[in-house]
């Protein structure tokens, strides 16, 4: 489902060259739930951004769902992200001006889904994360845990095959973190969604199928 071969990522400025990822080789099977761990600055988020096509590798090969994506232009990448990928971020990144349901509808807008089916799908996704009663609230009217559940609803509303979660429990207390992990597990087991999750928390990492460990940009396990 996800394959990285000899992937390197170098950040260059006028003075400094930083090797963020070095020779990463990773295979994630369909339906697998993988966690990525490592100290701050080891390249976890960079790895997730590469898989999410939000950034491009400096060298090496990356293929998603059997497709080599290296030569794709902006439009094709956007289309692929829309159809196959879902994102959950540590700081939720909900649009504050939009109601909960409008936030969840965002991926469907770019799929040109019409108003009524779009609303139904968004409501179903919110129902799945237990927020059906909060659809007309604004993000700021919700707790951190509820906001993250909205973010998960937004990530799954388009039924992506791959879900990328960047420290989804990082801003939550442990009880709320458990709730979020339960939802991710449910998605993985019932829908077969492939999940790659960056986390600092061993307790949550142990609940995944496999742990990939990074240190100073290198894969150590």
Region for 46 from its dihedrals, namely left if φ exceeds 0, alpha if ψ lies in -120 to 50, beta otherwise: alpha
Q: Does 98 participate in binding another protein (rule CB under 8 A)?
A: yes
Dihedral Cα 21, 155, 31, 114, nearest 10 deg: -130
Write down the least CB distance from residue 181 to another protein, Å.
Answer: 22
Closest CB to another protein among residues 26, 54: 54
Cβ(197)–Cβ(117) below 8 Å: no
Write down the least CB distance from residue 138 to another protein, Å.
Answer: 10
Write down the least CB distance from residue 29 to another protein, Å.
Answer: 24
Its sign, for the CA torsion 200, 203, 207, 210, is positive
Segment 161 to 220, residues that bind another protein, using CB under 8 A: none
Applying CB under 8 A, among 89, 135, 148, 162 the residue interacting with another protein is 89
Q: Which stretch binds another protein (CB under 8 A): 24-32, 58-66, 95-103, 183-191?
A: 95-103
Closest CB to another protein among residues 94, 180: 94
Segment 148 to 167, residues that bind another protein, using CB under 8 A: 154, 158
Which helix H or strand E contains 88, and what residues bound it?
Answer: strand 85-88
Write down the least CB distance from residue 53 to another protein, Å.
Answer: 9
Write the binding mask 99 to 138 for another protein: x where contact by CB under 8 A, - elsewhere.
Answer: ---x--xxx-xxxx--x-----------------------
Q: Does 38 participate in binding another protein (rule CB under 8 A)?
A: no
Which strand ranges, in their side-by-side order, compose the sheet holding 210-215?
Answer: 85-88, 162-166, 194-198, 33-37, 210-215, 218-219
HEC-encoded secondary structure of 139-196: HHHCCHHHHHHHHHHHHHCCCCCEEEEECCCCCCCHHHHHHHHHHHHHHHHHHCCEEE
Write the binding mask 51 to 80 for another protein: x where contact by CB under 8 A, - elsewhere.
Answer: -x-xx------------------xx--xx-
151-171 in b/e burial notation, b at 16+ Cβ within 10 A? bbbbbbbbebbbbbbbbbbbb
**What is the binding site for another protein (CB under 8 A)?**
45, 49, 52, 54-55, 74-75, 78-79, 81-83, 85, 87, 89, 93-98, 102, 105-107, 109-112, 115, 154, 158
């Amino acid at each position: 489902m996800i394959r990285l071969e000899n992937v390197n990522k170098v950040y260059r400025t006028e003075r400094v060259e930083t090797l963020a990822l070095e020779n990463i080789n990773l295979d994630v099977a369909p339906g697998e739930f993988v966690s990525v761990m490592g100290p701050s600055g080891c390249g976890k988020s960079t790895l997730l951004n590469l898989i999410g096509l939000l950034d491009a590798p400096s060298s090496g090969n990356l293929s998603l769902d059997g497709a080599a994506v290296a030569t794709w232009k902006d439009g094709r990448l956007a289309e692929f992200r829309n159809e196959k990928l879902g994102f959950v971020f540590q700081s939720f990144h909900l649009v504050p001006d939009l109601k909960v349901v409008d936030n969840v509808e965002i991926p469907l807008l770019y799929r040109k889904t019409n108003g009524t089916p779009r609303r139904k799908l968004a409501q179903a996704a919110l129902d799945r994360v237990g927020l059906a009663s909060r659809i007309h609230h604004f993000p700021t009217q919700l707790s951190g845990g509820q906001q993250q559940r909205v973010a998960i609803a937004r990530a799954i509303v388009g039924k992506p095959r791959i879900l990328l979660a960047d420290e989804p429990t990082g801003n939550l207390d442990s009880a709320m973190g458990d709730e979020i992990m339960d939802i991710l597990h449910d998605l993985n087991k019932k829908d077969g969604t492939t999940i790659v999750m960056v986390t600092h928390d061993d307790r949550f990492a142990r609940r995944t199928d496999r742990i990939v460990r990074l240190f100073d940009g290198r894969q150590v396990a």
